[in-house]
Chains A and B, each alone.
Chain A
Amino acid sequence: KAGVTQTPRYLIKTRGQQVTLSCSPISGHRSVSWYQQTPGQGLQFLFEYFSETQRNKGNFPGRFSGRQFSNSRSEMNVSTLELGDSALYLCASSLSSTSEMETQYFGPGTRLLVL
């Protein structure tokens, strides 16, 4: 079974631009979560989607948004990029996240550099 895949793996943008990152969960997994990882702040939760609906949201500004498609694939978008948005963006999937017994499996991440 293939793992979580994320595209692209690397991305360079300039301030003010916008970016869209893509995540394909493990087959059969319906919940997708996004995290931002930086050296200073560590891993921080962005949002979680299940059945095309955002179920949970972290403390990030409205410039960060996401969506999920009917096949469970998810995208996240960052508008008006700032230098501080440079980070590794990680996607994680789980079956349904309705049970505390479920665990999340991470993709390799997309490394975004904002110049």
Chain B
Amino acid sequence: GQQLNQSPQSMFIQEGEDVSMNCTSSSIFNTWLWYKQDPGEGPVLLIALYKAGELTSNGRLTAQFGITRKDSFLNISASIPSDVGIYFCAGNSGGSNYKLTFGKGTLLTVNP
């Protein structure tokens, strides 16, 4: 089945630093999504990408849909303590049946 390799698994950074994480896939995805999950809560959508090469920003977050459609990255600039959480990439290979494949997540810790 489809798999997403997300890296790094965890990051420990200082407040104010920039962060980058990425996902790669062995197969093509038509949609890439980035979610953030806080403890005890469900994932919250951060950014959605629908076209190869697309670069999209949401405040301090920027994500790109790779040209090969097999990868995506998420950057967070000027991190703040509330950025702490687990970040997931997810891909949808398309079609009318909606099924997201998730990466294993990146645990981000921000030291004030």
Question: Smallest Cβ distance from A103 to chain B, in angstroms?
Answer: 5
Q: Which residues from B are CB-within-8-Å of A104?
A: 33, 45, 98, 100
Q: List B22-60 residues whose CB lies under 8 Å from chain A.
A: 30-31, 33, 35, 40-45, 48, 50
The count of A-to-B residue pairs whose CB atoms sit within 8 angstroms is 70
B62 at the interface (CB under 8 A from A): no
Q: Which A residue sits closest to B102, measured CB to CB?
A: A43
Asked if residues A100 and B31 are in contact (CB atoms below 8 Å), the reply is: yes
Interface of B: prevailing SS: loop
Q: Which residues from B are CB-within-8-Å of A21?
A: none
Q: Size band of the A side of the interface?
A: 20 to 34
Question: Smallest Cβ distance from B83 to chain A, in angstroms?
Answer: 19
Chain B contact residue count (CB 8 A cutoff): 27
Asked if residues A103 and B45 are in contact (CB atoms below 8 Å), the reply is: yes
Within 8 Å by CB of B42, from A31, A56, A98, A106, lies: A106
Q: List B63-112 residues whose CB lies under 8 Å from chain A.
A: 88, 90, 92, 94, 96-105
A101 at the interface (CB under 8 A from B): yes
**Chain A contact residues, CB within 8 Å of chain B:** 4, 31, 33, 35, 42-45, 48, 55-56, 58-59, 90, 92, 94, 97-98, 100-109, 111
